Structure 1
Amino acid sequence: MFSNLETVLKELGNILVMLGVLMFSLLVVAYFFGKLYVIIKPLLLTAFIAIAFGSLLRYSFRHAKEPEFKHAMVCVALVWLVIPALSSLLFILIEYMSPLDSFFEAMSGWTGTGLTMIAHPFSLTHTMQFWRSLMQWVGGVGVIVLMLSILAHPGTGTFALYKAEARVEKIKPSVISTVRMTWWIYLILTSFGILLFFFAGMKPWEAINHAMTAIGTGCFTITDKSMSAYNNFLIELAVIPMMILGALPFLVHYKVLKGNFKAFFKDMQCRAFVVILFILLVSLFALNYSLYGNVFSCLRYSSFQLISGLTCTGFQTTSVYEWSGAGLLIVCMSMIIGGGAGSTAGGVKLIRAVIAYKWIGWSLRKNFLPPRALKPLRFGDRVLEREEVVKIVADTSLIIILWLLFLFLGICVLSLVVGSQFQLGDVIFEVASAQGNVGLSTGITNAGMSCIGKLMLILNMWIGRLEIIPVLMLLRVLVKGFEPI
């Protein structure tokens, strides 16, 4: 038992040290804007706590064994609680927010959700504006991926940690080269976004922050009304491709950057994204046309909100509170489906939607066709054996069922705490947004909501980012220990 715990705590220590070092980047921002005196004490205190505690764990358990997959799963679930908890200290000490609101804000940031307790982000110090953006930027790829790119060494433990943070696909032969290439691609896309937003009309500081959160498919902004604050069609046109790029797999980006432009059209998830977007957009346009009264406005606002939902980004250019229940349901569906596996997006993931669709179609054909006429099930270029099909479908079904169960739990709890102030459709939308790590809101989420509601949405954000299984593993270990697991 203790040897297993030592392994988990050692890896946690590595990540806490990395968090403390990451916080020092805020000193540059504070110095540049002449506000170093405002944040120097709380920042150094928070960074010191992270580095000191992390170093203590690393030294105390330096002889711990290499992590196996069971350790990695528990470690990842624990990390995604501890990192937001420590990060919340900056909101408490600098912005004087309550501990629960601070933890909510940090969890929303690191998970790339974007639901916020801060009514006026524009009034925050530049340092805290950047901290919110940095959390979403790093959290989009994953704190484990960041640690592995800096501290990892070859071995099975590295792959276990990489896989535990809901990542399986490798760009390069080794995990270490994969995570480092992922960060290079991420930096290229972020730089592209900064330039795109600047030339579209944003100020440099706005372009930097919004490019970071857009490519990380988060939706923290430094304006008080998300993207609707600009009311600028050109900026909206610039934001849309960045949201889409963030929701596409890094493997596709890698192939395209290497010159293989056909990779986008060959990828199952990319094709599914286009098809799903088209079907949902046509439906949403038909429902919203009477609300907006003209083709341009209806297409402008419907497409932006839908793409924001499907990519799990969460930027808003209009209030969805006035939309019909059917319109909200369509956006809910997009948030539940989510973006591509191997991207920064949340949701159930496009690959699971594709697997479910193919399995249902194949099962129906099996009932109507003779065995000799039935073609084997294919995923991309792969023809799957029966054993592979059973395993893939079982894993996919498990995640989808658990995802929907926790969604239902969140809906029940939030419905009880908001009472008659909001309709059921608004509640479903809010919980789907939290668990899908999206950030679109009907107005339920705010600093004045009940503590129970905040805690429920925190749970939804946490399990949504980790795709549930690591959370269940952690709970199981807390109750029964590691052996057997």
Structure 2
Amino acid sequence: MQYRNIIRILGLLVALLSVTMLPPAVVSLIYRDGGGVPFLMAFMWCLFIGLALWYPNRRKKYDLRAREGFLIVVLFWTVLASFSAIPLMLLETPNLTTTDAFFESFSGLTTTGATILTQIDGLPHAVLFYRQQLQWLGGMGIIVLAVAVLPMLGIGGMQLYRAETPGPVKDSKMTPRIADTAKHLWYIYLSLTIACAVAYWLAGMSVFDAICHSFSTIAIGGFSTHDASMGYFNSPVINLICVVFLIIAGINFALHYAAVQNKSIRNYFADPEFKFFITLQVILTAICFTVLMSHNTYQSADVALDQALFQSVSISTTAGFATTSFADWPTLLPLLLIFASFIGGCAGSTGGGMKVVRVVLLYLQGVRELNKLVHPKAVFTIKLGRKALPDRVIEAVWGFFSAYAAVFVICMLLLLASGMDDISAFTAVAACMNNLGPGLGEVAANFASINDFSKWVLIVAMLFGRLEIFTLLVLFTPAFWRN
């Protein structure tokens, strides 16, 4: 294992992370809210430690193997999220414990959106901006930006990209060079963020709110600058803009790239994962609208449709924005939406969950097994679109599902052991592993009231969800550490 090479890379990444502490300090100067000093101190700490890790190992440059790639990705999210907690620990307002600072930091960088903060409206602008910025940086994965930059410093990126990029098929690249792939992904990501911010601003948000919410929308994060989340604005137009961009961000970015390159949207409609994703949003919205109308939850059909559409898309894409407390809806709907978050967004998107393509493959495999029962001697192949998939892909999906279920159960049992009630424990783990944010019961509004042990369990669940189980789980196998 190339430990000194790994330390060198982490040192560079921590030094790069220090730069992200400066924008909140600038925001603090603009709004004169006095919240910039902790970010300047954090900048100096991160820069010093990053250079201290890098300098002694600066000449240890070697080609990365797959094992180093997995280890760096895990250390990347763990170390950088930990360093991102430094300014939160230094703040006077809010005054956070170490556990709370780590929880908020990991939740932001993994785009989970679960928060321990209350009275968010009264926080300094620097803190509000920093939380949103964490989600934006974590949305596509800062690692993808890193592999676009680090090759210039002598660090190859293919192993990192394969380890971090979500989805069951990880060997495909949109361009011949991985650095070009990462750059194109970020061009698209940045363009969507700017378009979203402009749309929010034109719809009535302030410039600050528009920028902050565009960060968390494109990242499918869910953090907001207000306690009432999107409900603060009370605007159907803003809700619709949010829905549109959440759906765009929930689609595989490779399809966006193909649409830009080919100047055509045909690729979207030829993709089976996209069609299932859109169909799911329509079905969820229709169910929520029908149930809300039948229970007379809202006085008019327009309001019911607005709320049904927004909450369905927000929860199922794992964003977790809210316009109302969906936990107060008829019992069927909150549970339905929580279960929908297990599906999440498409592979290669900023959404969480197990990813749509995996669920589609699990369904197709189930159908194949039923057909085999009827026709035992027949040979059935599983096709995604017109492409037949090898059994190795199906086995990998089943393996992922099994590992996901096992980690979920273990985390939930630990929360139950800590004294949390069953509904809160189940939905808290679902919210964190799916990178969703809000749950039900004790964690419906925020996670401030749960004990520190539960918060650390959920931090681990966030990492498992963000790294899609195997990337983190492989580190616990003896074979990984053998030479």
Provide the TM-score with structure 1 as the length reference.
0.91
Are residues 1:90 and 2:94 paired?
no
Letter in 2 for 1:341: A
SS at match of 1:344: coil
- Distance, in Å, in 1 between the alignment partners of 2:35 and 2:201 is 29
What amino acid maps onto 2:15 in structure 1? V
Q: Name the structure 1 match of 2:53.
A: 57
1:5 alignment counterpart: 3
RMSD: 2.3
Q: CA deviation at 1:141?
A: 0.7
Kept in 2: contact 1:8–1:67 (CA 8 A): no
Q: Corresponding residue for 2:22?
A: 24
**Structure-1 residue corresponding to 2:101:** 102
Match of 2:382 among 365, 377, 380: 377
Name 1:401's counterpart in structure 2: 402
Which ranges in structure 2 are unaligned for 5 or more consecutive residues?
A: none
> Which of 369, 373, 378 is equivalent to 1:363?
369
Q: Distance in 2 between matches of 1:335 and 1:177?
A: 32
2:349 is the alignment partner of 1:343: yes
CA positional deviation for 1:399: 1.2
How many residues align? The count is 470
99-108 or 264-273: bigger deviation: 264-273
The answer to whether residue 265 in structure 2 is matched with residue 261 in structure 1 is yes
Q: Distance between the aligned counterparts of 1:184 and 1:105, measured in 2? A: 28
Alignment-derived partner of residue 460 in structure 2: 459
* Residue of structure 2 equivalent to 1:270: 274
Deviates more, 1:59-68 or 1:315-324: 59-68
Q: Aligned-pair distance for 1:121?
A: 2.0
Q: How big is the shift at 1:330?
A: 1.0
| Structure-2 separation of matches of 1:330 and 1:290 | 16
User: Residue 208 of structure 2 corresponds to which residue in structure 1?
Assistant: 205
More displaced stretch, 206-215 vs 143-152: 143-152
Q: Is the 8 A contact 1:76 1:164 kept in 2?
A: yes
Q: What is the deviation of 1:114?
A: 0.7
Picking from 70, 74, 78, the partner of 1:73 is: 70
**CA–CA distance in structure 2, aligned partners of residues 430 and 474 of structure 1:** 25
- Following superposition, the deviation at residue 90 of structure 1 comes to 0.7
Report matched runs for 1:292-441 at 5 Å. Answer: 292=297, 295-369=301-375, 376-384=381-389, 388-389=390-391, 391-419=392-420, 424-441=422-439
Cα offset, 1:186, TM superposition: 0.7
1:270 deviation in Å?
Answer: 0.8
Distance 2:374 2:118 in 1: 57
Distance in 2 (CA, whole Å) between partners of 1:379 and 1:153 is: 38
Q: Structure 1 283/38 Cα, relative in aligned 2: closer, same or farther at 3 Å?
A: closer
Which residue, out of 38, 41, 45, partners 1:45? 41
Structure 1 residues 416 and 476, CA gap change in structure 2 (3 angstroms): same
2:143 equivalent in structure 1: 144
CA distance in 2, matches of 1:99, 1:197: 34
5 Å-filtered alignment, 1:244-259, equals: 244-258=247-261, 259=263
Moved more, 345-354 or 355-364: 355-364
Residue 139 of structure 2 contacts residue 220 of structure 2 at CA under 8 Å; is this kept in 1?
yes
The residue type equivalent to 1:51 in the other structure is: L
Higher helix share: 1
| Cα distance in structure 1, aligned partners of 2:184 and 2:256 | 11
Q: Are the counterparts in 2 of residues 14 and 147 from structure 1 also a CA contact under 8 Å?
A: no
Partner Cα separation in structure 1 for residue 89 and residue 202 of structure 2:
36
- Give the equivalent residue in structure 2 for 1:226: 229
Where does the alignment leave 5 or more consecutive residues of structure 1 unmatched?
none
Please tell me whether residue 237 in structure 1 is matched to residue 217 in structure 2: no
Quick check: 6-15 or 265-274, which moved more? 6-15
Measured against aligned partners, the alpha-carbon deviations of 1:156-212 in whole angstroms (never above 9, x if no partner) come to 941100111134342222110010011110111011101111122211111110011
| SS in structure 2 at match of 1:152 | helix
Q: For residues 297 and 55 of structure 1, what CA distance do their matches in structure 2 show? A: 54
Structure 1 CA distance for aligned equivalents of residues 154 and 381 of structure 2: 36
SS in 2 for 1:223: coil
Compare 274-283 and 230-239 and name the one that shifted more: 274-283
**Closer/same/farther in 2, CA of residues 407 and 173 from structure 1, 3 Å limit:** same
- What is the match of residue 295 of structure 2? 290
Change (3 A) 1:375 1:394: closer
Checking the alignment, whether the CA contact within 8 Å between 2:112 and 2:434 is kept in structure 1 is yes
8 Å contact from structure 2 (residues 35, 126) kept in 1:
no
1:90-116 Cα distance to aligned partner (Å, 9 max, x none):
111123311110000000000001111
Corresponding residue SS for 1:467: coil
Are the equivalent residues in 2 in contact too, given 1:247–1:312 (CA < 8 A)?
no
Conserved 8 A contact 1:23-1:47: yes
Q: Distance between the aligned counterparts of 1:156 and 1:90, measured in 2?
A: 29
Matches of 1:366 and 1:473, distance apart in 2: 33
Contact 2:285–2:309 (CA under 8 A) maintained in structure 1: yes
Structure 1 range deviating more: 126-135 or 21-30: 21-30
Letter paired with 1:14? L
Q: TM-score, normalised by structure 2?
A: 0.91
1:292 match: secondary structure: coil
Q: C-alpha displacement at 1:275, in angstroms?
A: 2.2
Contact 1:321 1:426 in 2 (8 A): no
Q: Deviation of residue 375 (structure 1)?
A: 5.6
CA deviation map 1:240-275 (0-9, x unaligned): 111111111111111223311112111222111022
The answer (yes or no) to whether the contact 2:107–2:115 under 8 Å persists in 1 is yes
Question: Is the CA contact (8 Å cut-off) linking 2:174 and 2:254 kept in structure 1?
Answer: yes
Cα displacement string for residues 353-395 of structure 1 (whole angstroms, at most 9, x for unaligned residues) = 11112222233333434867x56332234233xxx22x11111
Q: 1:409 to 1:325 in 2, by over 3 A?
A: farther
Residues 114 and 419 from structure 1, CA distance in 2 versus in 1: closer, same or farther, beyond 3 angstroms?
closer
Question: Residues 43 and 419 from structure 1, CA distance in 2 versus in 1: closer, same or farther, beyond 3 angstroms?
Answer: closer
SS in 1 for 2:437: coil
Asked if 2 retains the 8 angstrom alpha-carbon contact of 1:311 and 1:335, the reply is yes
Q: Do 1:129 and 1:222's aligned partners in 2 also have CA atoms closer than 8 Å? A: yes
Q: In the TM superposition, what is the alpha-carbon distance from 1:82 to its structure 2 partner?
A: 1.2
**Separation (CA, whole Å) in 2 of partners of 1:155 and 1:473:** 26
Q: Which runs of 4+ in 1 moved over 6 A?
A: none
Which residue identity lines up with residue 254 of structure 2 in the other structure?
L
Is the 2:285–2:312 contact (alpha carbons within 8 Å) kept by the matching residues of 1?
yes
1:131, distance to aligned residue in structure 2 (A)? 0.8
